[in-house]
Every structure is written in C-alpha cells, then in structure tokens.
Amino acid sequence: MKTTRQYITDTFRNLVLFTLPLVAAQQILQFDIDIYLSLLIGIAFGILEAWILWKWTFPWVGEIVSGFFYSSHSNAGEDIEVEAARQLEQAGDIPGACRILEHYAETHKGFMRAWDMYISFLIDPMEDYVRAIEVLEKCSRSRRWNREDRAFFLYRIGKIYKTRLNRPDKAAAYWRETAKRYPKTAFGREAANKL
C-alpha cells in the first residue's frame, strides 16, 4: 500500500511525464532542417529531459512537497513506537523508552511526536538537561522542520533554562532569538511575550 508521500511523488511524476510529449513537439518545431532529423533531435532531447527529471528532479521535488505537508504529522509507525515507549515508561524503563524514541526519531526524520516525547523524557524524569538542549539545538538548526517547529525547539530551550536550570539570562537569550527569527509563529509571539 502506498504511503501519502509515495502517492504525492508518483502523482507529480505522472503529471510531468504527461507534458513530456508537448516538450518534445516544441523542440521539433524550433529547428528549420529536415523533418526527420528534427524528429530525432526532439526525441533525443525529450528522452534526456525525461531521464534527468525522473532520476533527480522528481524525487527531490516530491520530498520537498510531501515534507512541507506532512513534516509534523504522525503516521502509523510513529504511533506504534510512541505507544511502545509509553509502555516502557509505565514499566519504569525510561532509558529503554528513550532508546526506542531516539532510534525512531533519527531514522524517521520529521515526525514531531516521537521527538517531543523523547525530549520530554530527557527533561523529566531523566533530568538530562544537557542532552535535551543538544537535541533541541540540533533540531532547531535542521531545515527538515517547518518554521513553527524550529521556533518550538528554540522556545523549549529557553524554557529549560528558565524552569530547570534557573538561568533566566540564557532563557531570555533563546526567547529573544526565537522572537527575532520566527516573529510570525505562535512560539515566536509567545517568546516575545516572555521578554
């Protein structure tokens, strides 16, 4: 069964492949030489263009489009992993739950729930604030997240400094950066209110 990402990528490929004969016909009409030679040149250019589009352009554009629409949404695999981590947490195996979430988050980029739960476990009950800040910093710099998600990561670093490490100066610095870089996001506005 196709995932939504595969469906979008395939649809985009089919749409562009539908237009390739039109591009080839346009190439043929641009040459004022023998019609057979024009036809061969047009077909050659069409095949070359199709190969370039199929090999490099379609996968790249499909990833961008599907990443834009589905970057922060959950999927069935994430639900299973999050539930497994929740069961380990209830059994008292927080490090095991963190391992599951960290592995899933690293191998399935862009799904927010696994990252959020992993960071929450690092903060409380593990109280590994240094590791939580490292993960949040890494996520805030990654372009795979949309602006709202990156603002959330920066805002959360400020919250750790304020509430857990009692460093209001560092918290204010992160909230200032969040408000400056992402002023039109919900977390950018919230950070501005905290200053």
66 and 77 fall within a common domain:
no
CA nearest neighbour of 149 among 63, 67, 61? 67
Any domain includes 119: no
**Pair 162, 156: CB distance under 8 Å:** no
Domain count, the chain: 3
13 and 35 fall within a common domain:
yes
Residue span of the structural domain in which 42 resides: 4-70
**Which pair of structure tokens corresponds to residue 75?**
């999927």
Give the Cα separation of 121 and 166 in Å (integer).
19
40 and 84 fall within a common domain:
no
Q: 111, 142, 169 — which closes off a domain?
A: 111
Q: Which pTM value belongs to this model?
A: 0.56
One pLDDT digit (tens) per residue for the chain, 195 residues: 556 666 666 666 665 555 656 555 555 555 555 666 666 677 777 777 777 767 767 666 666 665 555 444 445 556 777 788 888 888 888 888 888 878 777 776 667 777 788 888 888 877 888 888 888 888 888 777 788 888 888 999 999 999 998 999 999 999 999 999 988 888 888 888 888
Q: Contacts for 18-27 with beta carbons within 8 Å, 24 or more apart?
A: 20/46, 20/49, 20/50, 20/53, 21/46, 23/49
Any domain includes 100: yes
Give the Cα separation of 179 and 185 in Å (integer).
9
Any domain includes 31: yes
DSSP string covering 92-137, please? T-HHHHHHHHHHHHHHSTT-HHHHHHHHHHHHTTS--HHHHHHHHH
Any domain includes 123: no
